[in-house]
Structure 1
Amino acid sequence: MEHQKLFQEFEAISSKEWKQKIQFELKGADYNETLVWESLEGIKVKPFYHADEFETNTQVNTQVTQFKIVQNIFVHDVVKSNKKALDTLQRGAESIRFTIENETVVIKDLMQNLPLENTHYFFYLPFLSIDFVNQINDFATKNKANFSIQVDPIGHLVKDGNWFTNLDTDFNTLNQIVAKTNLPFLNLETRIYQNAGANIIQQLAYTLAHANEYFNRINWSVESNSKTTITIEVAVGTHYFFEIAKLRALRLLFETLAKEYHPNIECHILATPTKRNKTLYDYNVNMLRTTTECMSAILGGADSVANLAYDALYHKDNEFGDRISRNQLLVLKNESYFDKVNNPADGAYYIETITEQLAEKALQLFKDIEANGGFITQLIEGTIQRKIKESATKEQELFDSGKEILLGTNKYPNKNDRMKEDLELFPFVKTHSRKTLVTPIIEKRLAEKLEQERLAQE
């Protein structure tokens, strides 16, 4: 049966005609000044987008229907972590991300009775150990488990200021891991750029430059037909459509770069809501923020989404916070039908325009970084840190002046809110004076100064 085309009796209206009508309605006010606004990235956003301004769509393959709900688990106690993983999988989580800080953890004990073949497990390691990677690899091979290891020496340098050992030793270890493991082993921890205040173009360019250092320094076997997957951990901010476009642009840029080195390298995007706009006071608003950020992540094509608990800033891990954050994703998936359509942003002219502009500007910045010695060199010189600080300062000024609004914090605050007795964790930037190779990039929330002043007055 032939589909009937709707609205054929209406004449098509061009973008030029729409603009003329808008200008008439503005009654002399300037179109650009009144209706066109500029983002922090320098992208001018128009009041409408029209089909006649597009020659081709920006093709990004986002398999939205396949996104997985991830539960983060810090492994302090193997028995408790195993029990928590079993429980959380029964309650709707589809994937687990273990953070293992201690090399004495026995993987066999951690994975006791956990479903293996159809459940994806991430192992985030804030250390570099061939023996430990071998232990995970051996278990996965023996049990046909779906594992991804997450090691990232450059990410460690960015956050800590030092390599695990030194540049040569760290990359030598990575090359030994490449030769010995069948598992995805590499992680790009890029959440820190967003959480420290980098704008979207910087986040994309730094992620690309971060990846390029690995492409240049790791001995990938190009002859091998087997696929290699790199996990990219991304923080999703509050700017709904821009964040959808950011993830689409990231996939586009990464795939373009990876093809230059290896035909079978893919990326697995693991998205988490940003910490930058989260607040201590009126903390329930954090749930609204994380919901829209998870929506951006899903629609932007994240492969996995790990939500941030509403109380993660000031409470230790707790069952209630975990359950609420997991349920937010379950509602999006099972009751809001976010897993029913692939490529949902395709054909949305606004999102496609932003995707294209972000990708172009990020590629330009990436080329500039490479022309000036590459990412590691620019970290050592302090250029990356300075640029992020400039961007963060701009955003902080907007928050301080009330132009960037966080409800319940710098707009409509509840003066009766009391938080001092509820702080199990220190929610502000911690400073440790020590000698480092590079200046570490520090995550900082917009509301910190305001919250410290309020706490002092309680």
Structure 2
Amino acid sequence: MASEKLFSEFPPVSTEAWTNLIQKDLKGADFEKKLVWETQEGFKIQPFYRKENLKGKEWLLSNLPGKFPYLRSTRKLTNDWSIRQDIDTPDLKTAKELAIEAISNGVSALGLVLADVGSGRKGIQIKNEKDLSFLLADLPLNEITLHFVAEEKSPELYSWLPKNKTLVGGLGYDPYRILARHGHSGGHGPETLKPILTELAGKWKNFRALTVHSSTFRDSGSTIVQELAYTLALGSEYLYRLGELGVSPEVVNSQTIFQFTIGPDYFLEIAKFRAARTLWAEIFSSYSSDKGEASLPFIEAETARYNYGIYDLHNNILRGTTEAISAAIGGAEIINVLPFDHLLQPADSFSLRIARNVQLLLKHESYLDKVADPSSGSYYIETITDQITEQAWKLFTEVEKDGGFLECLKSGKIQSSILESRKKKEENYSTRKEIFLGTNQYPNSKDKIQNKDLNKNIKSPAISSASNELKVSPIPEFFAGDAIEEIRMKTEGYESKNKTSVKVLLLPLGDLKMKKARAIFSLNFLGCAGFQVVDPGSYETSEEAIAGIQKENPQIIVFCSSDEEVSGYVKEILPKLKQKPISLVAGYPKDILPELESAGVNGFIHVRSNLLETLSDLQKRLGIQ
């Protein structure tokens, strides 16, 4: 009995049998259209995966944690990671208090964001060595890793570091990121990085000079494959350029942190981290024969700025949580969950606590730190890991054929590729093909932005030009909710200036099922503009609806009825109105469109409407923009 295998009495079921059963349940509906999801990268995600999907790819399962090429993990027995938090409040004293509080409550990697740099955050007013010494005094530097977000001020900051202490962490310097963000290098490059990197390699081996930021690409609208390929191509560029300056690849790698952005595609993000380690091992092996500790990639993860919104902020907690889980399962060494309100203002004690607790829960209640590569063996994740690896490698080799990262940046190939992906994302959010909860779907129309001085709107300060500097087309930041949030803020500005709200009255009339469905749709659709949408529940007659219009005095009315009934209600109601509000119909009754338009209907809102274009048009008609 003990030798029998569990479930051995059940016969195996073939893929064909499963597919036939699914087809039967679909009742003739198209399998591909109903159940196969195509990602922006072009991957077709199947509804189920089996062992046969890994035929010929058995190495995915045979590779062990801590073994080259590190698909499963760089660590053998654990999946533990450091909890990082960035302090970005301007006041030095407050910043120090927040740092001590964070460390006392579970943070093991402290980040300090400097003011007046291209970080998109206000940052701490560290002006000199004295300010930095004040900030670092009393911090248990022997118990934490210390990280900086200093961007173009990194070399200056380095000169302020306390030379009488041993630091572990990272300077965060990325000269080519400065070039990509600003459009010119300002004198930053491998030549300015080399002396810092070599000195640190000799003095503080565990304080890394170079951070290769994937956010340069992902927070600008790239796909996962582009993010992975361009980040690794950037890492390879540093290996090559610093090698020309006499720095060995082993030293460069030991002084490098790869900081990857974690986006909303949960399983693909897990696969991305696994693919990143595998690909970097392959790239590094072309520079060095060392397949031991010197070849290990050090990976940090940070939740995506572009995937946070400025309205209905608590959605950002959910986004940050799922992103952090992806990074933990994917095997990141450091994880930074950005505070839920960080696009609005510098993080305070409360928002830092919430962000910190996300990771503490993942460790101490979900135990995600106990098992190395917990996703191993999942046919789905193993398959998409292989697909992402293959596609990212293909793009990486194309970049190398065209002269490498720097040449592709100078020629604009990287920028144009990311721009194409960005435009597709913008279109998807505008048409609600991709949902950004609280912004382009299910908005909280009562939520208002009180402080208009947003972190999100901070512009990078110009950097000084230098002789013989490199110049490229800059890669601007991207935010998923940006266009719709701008619409909403214009509505708020209009209401504040005119001391009145933009009111929309729904007219639910006729068939109960249709009027309810279309009223709910209209409430969500028009609420995205920040309009005050009044849903009376139901009107039984046209006379009731007219009385409601006279009472509410709305700027916009929306007929919420079935296609068969709407024409009658339009013809009964609109001629009797003395003041003519903008009249919309929920739905798209194509057979009677000319009839409705001639009766006074100004537009139609429906599932195929472009949300951004429709709301922009309404604001123009209302005089808001």
TM over 0.5: yes
2-structure distance, mates of 1:417, 1:115: 40
Q: In structure 2, what is the equivalent of residue 422 of structure 1?
A: 451
Tell me the equivalent position of 1:185: 209
Conserved? CA contact 1:428–1:448, under 8 Å: no
Paired position in structure 1 for 2:486: 452
- SS of the residue corresponding to residue 305 of structure 2 reads coil
Q: For 1:387 and 1:416, locate their aligned partners in 2 and report how far apart those are by CA, in whole Å.
A: 38
SS of 1:314's equivalent? coil
Tell me by how many angstroms 1:440 deviates.
Answer: 1.5
Q: 1:139 to 1:247 in 2, by over 3 A?
A: farther
2:72 alignment counterpart? 61
Residue 149 of structure 1: SS of its match in structure 2?
A: strand
Aligned-partner Cα distance in 2 for 1:168–1:306: 27
Q: Aligned ranges for residues 210-359 of structure 1 at < 5 Å?
A: 210-219=234-243, 222=248, 228-262=254-288, 263=290, 264-359=294-389
Q: Larger Rg: 1 or 2? A: 2
Which amino acid in structure 2 is aligned with residue 150 of structure 1? G
Moved more, 201-210 or 14-23: 14-23
Q: Call closer, same or farther: CA 1:312–1:128 in 2, change over 3 Å.
A: closer
1:69/1:94 contact within 8 Å kept:
yes
- Report if aligned partners of 2:175, 2:190 keep a CA contact under 8 Å in 1: no
Q: Deviations over 1:261-319 (max 9, x none)?
A: 24214322211111222212211111111111111111111111111111111122211
Kindly state the Cα deviation for residue 109 of structure 1 after the two structures are TM-superposed. 4.2
Between 1 and 2, higher relative CO (CA 8 Å, sep ≥ 6) is seen in 1
Match of 1:439 in 2: 473
TM-aligned CA distance change 1:315 to 1:100, over 3 Å: closer
Instruction: Output aligned runs, 1:20-419, within 5 Å.
Output: 20-55=20-55, 56-58=58-60, 59=63, 60-62=71-73, 63=75, 65-74=79-88, 76=90, 79-100=93-114, 102=126, 104-106=128-130, 108-127=133-152, 133=158, 136=161, 138-141=163-166, 145-165=167-187, 167=189, 169-170=191-192, 173=195, 177=199, 181-183=203-205, 184-219=208-243, 222=248, 228-262=254-288, 263=290, 264-419=294-449
- For residue 37 of structure 1, report the CA deviation from its aligned partner: 2.1
Cα distance between partner residues in 2 of 1:97 and 1:432 = 21
How far apart, CA to CA, are the structure 2 residues paired with 1:272 and 1:206? 17
Deviation digits for residues 229-262 of structure 1 (CA, Å, limit 9, x no counterpart): 4211111111111111111111211122123224
Deviation of 1:168 after TM superposition, in Å, equals 6.5
CA contact (8 A) 2:269 2:327 kept: yes
Amino acid at match of 2:210: L
Q: Which amino acid aligns with 1:250?
A: A
Distance 2:230 2:162 in 1: 30
- Following superposition, the deviation at residue 127 of structure 1 comes to 3.4
Instruction: Report how far residue 381 of structure 1 moved.
Output: 1.4
Give the structure 1 partner of residue 118 of structure 2: none
Cα displacement (A) at 1:327: 1.2
Write the letter of the residue equivalent to 2:173.
V
User: Deviation at 1:397?
Assistant: 0.6
- Against the structure 1 CA distance between its residues 317 and 424, is the aligned structure 2 distance closer, same or farther, given a 3 Å change threshold? farther
Offset, 1:356: 0.7
TM-score by length of 1: 0.90
Q: Distance in 2 between matches of 1:339 and 1:189?
A: 24
RMSD: 2.9
Confirm or deny: 8 A CA contact 1:281 1:417 kept in the other structure.
Answer: yes
- State the SS of the aligned residue for 1:422: coil
Corresponding letter in the other structure for 1:153: P
Return the offset for 1:207: 0.5
| Contact 2:129 2:160 survives alignment (8 Å) | no
Contact 2:201 2:255 in 1 (8 A): no
Give the SS at the match of 1:210. Answer: helix
By how many angstroms is 1:442 displaced?
1.1
Summarize the Cα distance change of 1:274–1:223 in structure 2 as closer, same or farther, 3 Å threshold: closer
TM-score of the superposed pair, with normalisation by structure 2: 0.67
- Paired residues in the alignment total 454
Question: Any unmatched runs of 5+ in structure 1?
Answer: none
Identity fraction in percent: 32
Q: Which amino acid aligns with 1:381?
A: S
Whole-angstrom distance in 1 between the partners of 2:217 and 2:252 = 31
Q: Structure 2: how far apart are the matches of 1:334 and 1:278?
A: 26
Q: Which amino acid aligns with 1:133?
A: Y
Secondary structure of 2:489 counterpart: helix
SS at match of 2:300: strand
Deviations 1:379-414 (A, max 9, x none): 111111111110011011111011111122111222
C-alpha separation between the residues in 2 aligned to 1:225 and 1:382?
Answer: 30
Q: Does the 8 Å CA contact 1:209/1:375 hold for their aligned counterparts? A: yes
For the structure 1 residues 128 and 170, does the alpha-carbon distance in structure 2 shift closer, same or farther, using more than 3 Å as the test?
farther
